[in-house]
Structure 1
Amino acid sequence: MDESPLQKRSQPAETPDRPSPATSPAAPAVPQTAGGALRASDADRDRIADILREALAEGRLDAEEHSERLDRVYAAKTVGELEPLVGDLPAGRVTAAAAPSAAARSYAGEPLGENPTLVGILSGAERKGRWRVGNRITAVAVMGGIEIDLTEATFTSPELVIHCTAVMGGISIKVPENVTLQGSGVIGIMGGADVRAFEAPDPHAPTVRVVGVAFWGGVEAKAKRGKKVVDWAKKRLEG
């Protein structure tokens, strides 16, 4: 029996382009955050940038290669994008994938402290006394001076990286005598760095790493005898 035009219009129109609920494709799965798929943090990028800076200072990379890789570092979104940038360098054997993020590396039950930026342009700036320091300090001295005194600070991260830029200025850093002090990452251009490196007897002691550049300026870092990280030592004993 033929259907009337009215009956035909009352029927729903076919929509071949829209699959039925039974045949709809499943929602895409959330990507796994393992290995190289981990999202890169600022600390991960800074760590890779420090390795490239040291490679430039050692002559393993020329200026053009260093600049190209550095651009890729700060454009990287995942740890997997960072790994190839240091894979051919000795320090790159410990890749960003193997290194935990800053938050994961904070002491158990201890939130990260401050990550201050100190700027001295034709003037001075200082940070000292009792305060909670995080995993990074940025110091910029342009025809000025900056003093960073960590002898009474509470360390909340196993590693503290101090990024220094001294242009016709000076940056002075004092640390407790029971922390590890490293400073091979400071480049001197008509300037210099005097970092009195020291390896703490305790392998679990905090590490202070000084990196950056001194252009017609100077960066000095040393331990202050008689000053120790008391709060951190107590925390380890209690843990």
Structure 2
Amino acid sequence: MDLEKKSDLRASDADRDAVAHRLGDALAEGRLTPEEHAERLDELYAAKTYAELDLLTRDLPGPAGEPKISLLKDSGGTSGTPVQASNTIVAIFGGAERKGRWLAEPHTTITAAFGGVELDYRQAVLTRREVVVDVKCIFGGIDITVPPGVRVVTDVSAIFGACEDPKNDTVDPQAPVIRITGFVLFGGVSFKRRTTKERRKKHC
């Protein structure tokens, strides 16, 4: 089958997720405006074929010379595809975590009651320039790790609890934003800013 016929093949969810990541990178680099990014995402999730996906990234350079989207399905083509997970995280008398390469929806809800949640955005793919995380933390803790260059905005009400200062390292108005809302009761929300190569210190 030649390349032209392959471009008419139906695209998978993994293919769409890969393009969503490319568009997110282009937004962060300033190659797309927030409005253009939102328009292309709408077209992305309506796309059916490889050809339609290719049109969305044709004017964007690929990292380190990589193709914008491969029309040939090889064994390593989807190794970097983000995992599409639920937009609800619940930890009651236990723990929950989300890390690695995952697709961050526009709105995520976290409920931690007598439990803890670890949320790691270092390899996450944001579906919007600004995503919202609504927390309900009661006698629990929520640890959020973000990479450099991502702004964190907090609007959390704390009653006998605390929400730490995220210590933002950028004031760029085009930087990706993670907005934290909700409330904390006898608990806490903490932030760590690390690169993808940094690991948590293990305690003996």
Q: TM-score range by the shorter chain?
A: 0.5 to 0.7
Aligned AA (1:118):
I
For residue 220 of structure 1, report the CA deviation from its aligned partner.
1.1
Q: Pick closer, same or farther for the CA change 1:157–1:145 going to 2, 3 Å.
A: same
Q: 2:107–2:131: 8 Å Cα contact kept in structure 1?
A: yes
Q: Pick closer, same or farther for the CA change 1:105–1:114 going to 2, 3 Å.
A: farther
**Structure 1 equivalent of residue 104 of structure 2:** 133
Which residue of 77, 96, 106 corresponds with 2:38?
106
For residue 190 of structure 1, report the CA deviation from its aligned partner.
0.8
Q: 2:106–2:130: 8 Å Cα contact kept in structure 1?
A: yes
Q: Pick closer, same or farther for the CA change 1:115–1:209 going to 2, 3 Å.
A: farther
TM-score by length of 2: 0.54
- Structure 2 counterparts to residues 81-92 of structure 1, below 5 A: none
Measure the CA separation in 2 of the matches of 1:177 and 1:199: 7
For residue 221 of structure 1, report the CA deviation from its aligned partner.
2.2
Higher relative contact order (CA 8 A, sep 6+): 2
**Structure 2 equivalent of residue 180 of structure 1:** 151
Q: 2:148–2:169: 8 Å Cα contact kept in structure 1?
A: no
Q: 1:128–1:149: 8 Å Cα contact kept in structure 2?
A: yes
**Structure 2 equivalent of residue 212 of structure 1:** 182
Runs of 4 or more above 3 Å deviation: 102-107
Measure the CA separation in 2 of the matches of 1:104 and 1:188: 37
Measure the CA separation in 2 of the matches of 1:107 and 1:166: 35
Task: Decide which structure has greater helix share.
Answer: 1
Rg larger in 1 or in 2? 1
Q: Any unmatched runs of 5+ in structure 2?
A: 1-33, 46-83, 198-204
Measure the CA separation in 1 of the matches of 2:158 and 2:90: 19
TM-score by length of 1: 0.47
Q: Any unmatched runs of 5+ in structure 1?
A: 1-101, 229-239
Whether 1:196 aligns to 2:128 is no
Moved more, 116-125 or 195-204: 195-204
For residue 117 of structure 1, report the CA deviation from its aligned partner.
0.6
Over aligned residue pairs, what C-alpha RMSD do you find? 2.6
**Structure 1 equivalent of residue 134 of structure 2:** 163
For residue 217 of structure 1, report the CA deviation from its aligned partner.
0.6
